[in-house]
Structure 1
Amino acid sequence: MPNKPARYGIKSWVACDARSSYAWKMQLYTGKKPTATAAASSAAGREEREEEEEKEEEKDEGRKKGKGRGGSEKNQGTRVVLDVTKGLTGRNITCDNFFTSYELAQRLLLETNNTLLGTIRKNKPELPDALLALRGRRVLSSKFAFTRDTALVSYLAKKNKNVLLLSTFHTRTADVVGRRQRADNKPAVILDYNSNKGGVDNLDKVVATYSCRRMTARWPLAVFHNILDVSSYNAFVIWRELNPDWLPGKRNKRRVFLKQLGKALVAPLIERRTRLPRAEAAAAVVKTHRLAAGGGGGGCSGSGGVTTTPALPPPPPPPPPPSSSAAAATSTAPVNPPLPASKRKRCQVCPSKKDCKTHNVCRGCEKYICRGCALLYCPACANYFCSSSERGSV
């Protein structure tokens, strides 16, 4: 793809909010849209379609390679903007010179009551010659042209560099010119365009910061990864607007949100599992989650994140006061003496990247477990768990 950081990719048209980069609508580019003639021919018989295709192929032999059987799409920019802004009313649409045209600006005003602001190419027929002429013009000078609902601006940023903009958002001279207190004498229409043009580029940047993309040769999977990234960012924008006091002063809010979102999405699948996974680390995660969710812990915390609160079973009723000899035996003899370990081995609960070795062995499954992964219980709770497990086994 020319003028793009990546050599290969899938093109998609995106309409974003200029401030938050919230993706309003996305549309994958899959080639030229079928016309009414193509739709009618597809409804005809197979033999008739084959004859028409043969005739079209004969006519298109002289065309350049890569433009397709039907040539390039006409008014593609207008069609794309109308598609991705469908459902929006009373908004200002900012786009670059690939999309901007006088026809698009008038259709947006009449059909959806939306205004348009964008750069426009020099080969458009609606541009007057006075805005295109550069002879005798000073650098950093501007020229303006107006109709009843449209404004055209020609700004000479450098020598022989003419910047042309079309706007239906700035309809008065004062709105277009603005206050010229800058050294570059940029009119207000250019300043507004510069402040609103980076919505899509910023979306690409923030999505690439925390992404779930993986190397793949299947394009549907690449599209799915992009959908997940954009959807998670949209969810973060909505959550931040609904909870402005969430995690005040922190600069990694999106990282925390994605971490809590991932846990919340995985939790129902973990609870639905009937068997433990084969991997030791994955099995430990499932066991820890089930133990934490056993008492109904989990939900929305006060800070707005989805958390799980470990909850142990209710403690047994207090036993009758034992005699002094029994109390002494309870305090001196350990309830669950550790199993003797022959040698130090790696903890079977810690992840593989963490080389943690220990002598401790679990009394239930006889697996090696370090102190950081083990859980501590008082003698009363340990007796209760042992007695409940024996009753369950019987």
Structure 2
Amino acid sequence: MFKPRRKHIASAKNKSWKNISKEELYAYIGLLLLAGSQKSYDVPIRELFLDPLSDPHYKATMSVDRYEEIRRHIRFDDKRTRALRFETDKLAPISYIWNIFIKNCTKLYNPSANVTVDEQLVPFRGRCKFIQYMPSKPAKYGIKIFWMCDSACYYGINGVIYCGKEVGAPAQKDLGSEIVKTLAVPIFSSGRNITMDNYFTNVELGNFLLQKDITLVGTIKANRREIPEALKHNRQRALYESVFGFNNKATLVSYKAKKEKSVILLSTMHHNCSIDSNDRKLKPEIILYYNKTKGGVDKMDEMVGEYSCKRQTKRWPVVLFSNMLDVAALNSFIIYTENHPEFHARRKDRRRLFLKDLCHELVMPHMIQRSDVKGLIKQTKEAMKRCGVQFQMIPGPGERKRKRCFMCPRNVERKTERFCSICKENVCKEHSSEKITCQNCLED
């Protein structure tokens, strides 16, 4: 049913590259997001465009050859200066648009009182100098991105791509703390709280954030030097027992969750030994607060993966670009629904409906421009009509039905396929000019 994918590029076909316009780029992004909203990441591209049962937006927006041409040649930097920038920047092919993306994410949203810091693993198994192996993640291999997200609505506020050790630089100590200090810059002096896991948490970081008017709640490793012996795991302690430690700025709590396991948390927000007596496991308030606010990044990653526009590729900049589109689409959904809470308020799939409307708005300007191009095939015009493009379908030779000439009297049954080029009414040879224009239109 579908043609095989063409592996030769435009130059091999003796064709010159046609520059892409802003409207066409928006349309390409819209089609990427549309495939993600329909969970069509594993459907062949030619099937999306050529199958008569597929969404008409694909066929109406651009040809499948043009889509594949853009996908094959898309770049995010100037290749002529890339080698020079690679000497100091491992993200040279993508860093320009990544910085713009993060700047807009930070600028366009005011987060709630609690934010979460954690990592996201973007699945990728191709060639990349800073690919990471994380056995605890479902994908195992990929590119690691540290995110700061809103704990309430899961908005991606700030992100840092982990590129490993810089060339010639010494090994960086306490990387987790440095990552948090970088991510937290947009919320300095705001009085907010950051929740994090034991990869990032330490007492020194808590003191630093307090100077910036930010509190910290997070689990902490038991082998840290600042942890007193009394708070470390002890088999003699009773199950669900809590041991607290205080100083002027921070609180430590050791909670025995299981027979062979104790969890230690650090908080610069809590300063008492409050325990929830209604809870069967007698959890301290610090742990309950941590459990409530720790899932911002994990939930963001889950929501991004639900409607992802990622497709199989061997180019890591394209993988990061697709992840940026997914996060941007989620962030835009959060901003829109907070400003318009009535948007499909009772629907469980309101995010899918938002993505569907977003894709339609992105592709329509280019689709309308394309509708003015002469020589479009009938199937493309019909797809445009289904998408809402308003134009009159002019039939080709032999496609128009024979009808009675609208200028002849009723008692004369003179049928013809000829029609006026202006008003499109059927008109006989006697009542039309050489250019097939009826007498009424000639007089006007």
**What band does the TM-score fall into relative to the shorter chain?**
0.5 to 0.7
Asked if the contact 1:277/1:283 (under 8 Å) is kept, the reply is no
Shift of residue 288, structure 1, vs aligned partner: 5.8
For 2:276, the aligned partner's letter is: R
> Aligned-pair RMSD on alpha carbons?
3.6
Asked if the contact 2:198/2:218 (under 8 Å) is kept, the reply is yes
Question: Equivalents in 2 of 1:146, 1:15: separation in Å?
Answer: 28
Percent identity over paired residues? 36
Asked if the contact 1:152/1:167 (under 8 Å) is kept, the reply is yes
1:200 correspondence with 2:333? no
Instruction: Show the counterpart of 1:93.
Output: 194
Instruction: Show the counterpart of 2:337.
Output: 240
1:179 correspondence with 2:276? yes
Give the 5 Å matches for 1:144-223: 144-171=244-271, 173=272, 176-223=273-320
Question: Equivalents in 1 of 2:164, 2:214: separation in Å?
Answer: 27
Asked if the contact 1:271/1:290 (under 8 Å) is kept, the reply is no
Instruction: Show the counterpart of 1:8.
Output: 141
Question: Equivalents in 2 of 1:126, 1:385: separation in Å?
Answer: 95
Asked if the contact 1:117/1:169 (under 8 Å) is kept, the reply is yes
Question: Equivalents in 1 of 2:151, 2:198: separation in Å?
Answer: 17
Unaligned runs of 5+ in 1: 39-69, 295-310, 313-324, 340-362, 365-380
Shift of residue 327, structure 1, vs aligned partner: 11
Asked if the contact 1:77/1:98 (under 8 Å) is kept, the reply is yes
Shift of residue 244, structure 1, vs aligned partner: 0.9
Deviations along 1:252-305, whole A, 9 cap, x unmatched? 11011000101111122223446369776445434666843x7xxxxxxxxxxx
Instruction: Show the counterpart of 1:26.
Output: 159
Question: Equivalents in 2 of 1:335, 1:140: separation in Å?
Answer: 93
Question: Equivalents in 1 of 2:343, 2:354: separation in Å?
Answer: 10
> What's the TM-score once normalised by structure 2's chain length?
0.57
Give the 5 Å matches for 1:1-394: 1=133, 2-33=135-166, 72-88=171-187, 89-110=190-211, 112-171=212-271, 173=272, 176-273=273-370, 275=373, 281-286=379-384, 291-292=389-390, 329=410, 383=425, 390=437
Structure 1 SS opposite 2:217: strand
Question: Equivalents in 2 of 1:334, 1:85: separation in Å?
Answer: 81
Question: Equivalents in 2 of 1:105, 1:336: separation in Å?
Answer: 86
> What's the TM-score once normalised by structure 1's chain length?
0.64
Shift of residue 243, structure 1, vs aligned partner: 0.5
Q: 1:21 to 1:290 in 2, by over 3 A?
A: closer
Between the two proteins, the alignment pairs up a number of residues equal to: 285
Unaligned runs of 5+ in 2: 1-132, 394-405
Asked if the contact 2:218/2:266 (under 8 Å) is kept, the reply is yes
Question: Equivalents in 2 of 1:276, 1:184: separation in Å?
Answer: 73
Asked if the contact 1:141/1:155 (under 8 Å) is kept, the reply is yes
Q: 1:133 to 1:217 in 2, by over 3 A?
A: closer
Structure 1 SS opposite 2:231: helix
Shift of residue 33, structure 1, vs aligned partner: 4.6
Question: Equivalents in 2 of 1:81, 1:385: separation in Å?
Answer: 76
Q: Which structure: larger Rg? A: 1
For 1:146, the aligned partner's letter is: F
Question: Equivalents in 1 of 2:254, 2:240: separation in Å?
Answer: 10
Asked if the contact 2:152/2:293 (under 8 Å) is kept, the reply is yes
